[in-house]
Amino acid sequence: MGFLDFLTGGPKKDPVHINDTNFEDEVLKSEQPVLLDAWGPDCPWCMKMVPTIRILAARYDGKVKVGEFNVSDAVKTAKRFGVRGTPTILLLNKGVLVGRFSGYQPEHVLDEEIRRKFIEKEE
C-alpha cells in the first residue's frame, strides 16, 4: 500500500456496473457472493459511499463481487429488491438476499457484515 492509498483508506477498485440486462449473469449466476450498492444520481449520501464501495471492491477482489447500480437506470432491479431509498446496500449469496442496509453505512459496518456473512463461512 502506497502513502496515497494509506491516506485515502487503502487501494481502490471500481465496482462492477449492474443494469437490468446484465443482472442475471453478474449477480444471480455469480460464483462469488455479491455486495450491491443501489444509488441515485441526486443522492449526496450515495456520493459519500463511493470511496467505501471502491475500497471494499479492492479488499475483497476475488472473494466477493462488489457491484453498483443506478436505480434510475436499473428500474427492474430496484423494484425486484424493493429499493425505496438510496443508498441501499444488498448482500446476496447464490442469488439469495442475505442482508440489507438502508442509508449511509460506514466502511467498518459493511466490512464486518461481509466478513460475518461470507468470509468466516469459508474458513
Half-sphere exposure of 51 (CA within 13 A, CB side): 10
pLDDT at 120: 82
Task: Supply the pTM of this predicted model.
Answer: 0.89
pLDDT in tens, 4-17: 555 556 689 999 99
104 vs 33: CA distance, rounded Å: 21
Could you give the residue numbers annotated as active site? 43, 46
Which residue positions in the chain have pLDDT lower than 70?
A: 1-10, 121-123
Domains and their CATH numbers in the chain: 19-122 (3.40.30.10)
36 vs 91: CA distance, rounded Å: 6
pLDDT at 8: 58
pLDDT at 122: 61
